[in-house]
Amino acid sequence: MASQPGPARTDWNSHLLDCCEDCSTCCYGFWCCPCLACTVAGKFGENRCLPLCDIISPAIFVIFDIPLFVPPAALSLRASMRNRYNIKGSLCKDVVISCFCMWCSWCQMQRELKYRRKPPTVINVVNQTVITQQPQMMVMNPNPAPPPYFGHI
């Protein structure tokens, strides 16, 4: 049984380092990265505290001498967003971006959510039947018939 092809995969709406495209997002991320990450998680429908795992978990893992290289919240949210919106990419790329460009990744996800939340433009097309009718022309007879003659009274 062959599977039906799904909608075509698209690229991210903005590139990873497109900070100048939306300065408010990157400035917000620069001054308070955890706040930006929590906002993105909340807008995506996840628990707002989820990104705090990326901040707290390394400390907990160090206490127990367990190496942690990949921020779990950033990776899982990025992969989930990619799947929900049918964005091109791979889990391998998500791991690399989450490890080495985590805050840029949060900014990119915020820009993507802003793009996806824009209200769609609706174009309503109505089929109209146009009937062209030529006006009826009254033809005047240039030689009208004389009125009937009834004779003298």
Query: What single string gives the DSSP state of each residue in 103-116?
Result: HHHHHHHHHHHHHH
Q: What is the pLDDT of residues 105-126, one digit of tens each?
A: 988 999 999 888 876 666 777 7
Query: What's the whole-model pTM score?
Result: 0.64
Three-class secondary structure of residue 10 per DSSP: strand
Tens digit of each residue's pLDDT (9 = 90 or more) over 49-93: 888 887 777 777 767 777 667 888 899 999 999 999 999 999 999
Say how far apart CA 98 and CA 7 lie, in whole Å.
26
Six-digit token string for 113? 């959510």
Residue 5 gets which letter from DSSP? P
